[in-house]
Amino acid sequence: MEIKELKGKGKIRVAGTEIDVLHNGIDIAFAYPMNGPNTYLDVMSKITNKNLLRPTTAQMFSLINLSLQNPEEEHCKKILTILKSNYFWTSTENLYTRWGVFVYDNINGMVKGDKEDLTKRLEAGDESVRFVLYGFKTERQSVLQFIKNPYIIAQTGKELMPIVEEVTIKLKRNPHVWTYDWKSGSQKENIQRYTALSSIWGDGKFDLNGNFNEDDESGYAIGICNIGEASCKNKQ
């Protein structure tokens, strides 16, 4: 809910729009208005301050898939417009180490994102943390290569691959994967980067970019106000 302060100790409360999306068999509710464009930290902090959850890469694929099925609906059209001209931040963050990358969902902004903490979570069976050894394909690839790419699987989970495939096919763009340059042979230890999705039509590609810095600007994000229920129930 957006609140505008008025003179004389008054307020105007403007209720936001909710978009219900079926994600891995569970209803999740995205809350409008969306946040951005701005840096990852600014946009995600605003989501947290509204008592919302930060959207993962997997959840954003489900939202994009729904929007592609309803391209003329006002809110879905706006999502696709941003996807084509800008990018969407996701809370699936990256920590690049010397031998591989930790991919983890930081939905509440509370995950430290350091190697020791992520290693403990991984060893404890925390499904929000994954680790991928270097050697996966980056940059341009086919849809088949994209959905079998270990890094993409870590970003979204195997169970979402049919949706990921459907999105990339519907966008009619060559998938691209961008990461920290581990191929250079000069990898540094513990490099944190952020993930964003975009489909810049002029470039003819669909991007999953896991190499954004915290001060890179212009991204958008949409908070999630409920998982497993159909309504946000005025959580904002």
Ramachandran category for residue 87: left, alpha or beta (phi over 0 → left; psi -120 to 50 → alpha): beta
Phi, psi for 193 (deg, rounded to 5): -140, 165
> Which residues of the chain form beta strands (DSSP E)?
2-6, 10-14, 18-23, 26-38, 88-96, 100-105, 129-133, 139-140, 174-178, 191-198, 205-212, 219-227
Q: Quick check: is 54 in a domain?
A: yes
Q: Find the domain containing 201 and state its range.
A: 17-227
Residue 235 is given by DSSP the state: -
Residue 34 is given by DSSP the state: E
pTM (two decimals): 0.91
Q: Quick check: is 235 in a domain?
A: no
Q: Encode the chain (236 residues) as per-residue pLDDT tens digits.
A: 566 675 656 566 666 788 889 999 999 999 988 999 999 999 999 999 999 999 999 999 999 999 999 999 988 999 999 999 999 999 999 999 999 999 999 999 999 899 999 999 999 999 999 999 999 999 999 999 999 999 999 999 999 999 999 999 999 878 999 999 887 766 678 999 999 999 985 566 799 999 999 888 889 999 998 777 655 655 55
If one counts the domains in the chain, the total is 1
Q: Quick check: is 115 in a domain?
A: yes
Return d(Cα 222, Cα 36) in angstroms, integer.
9
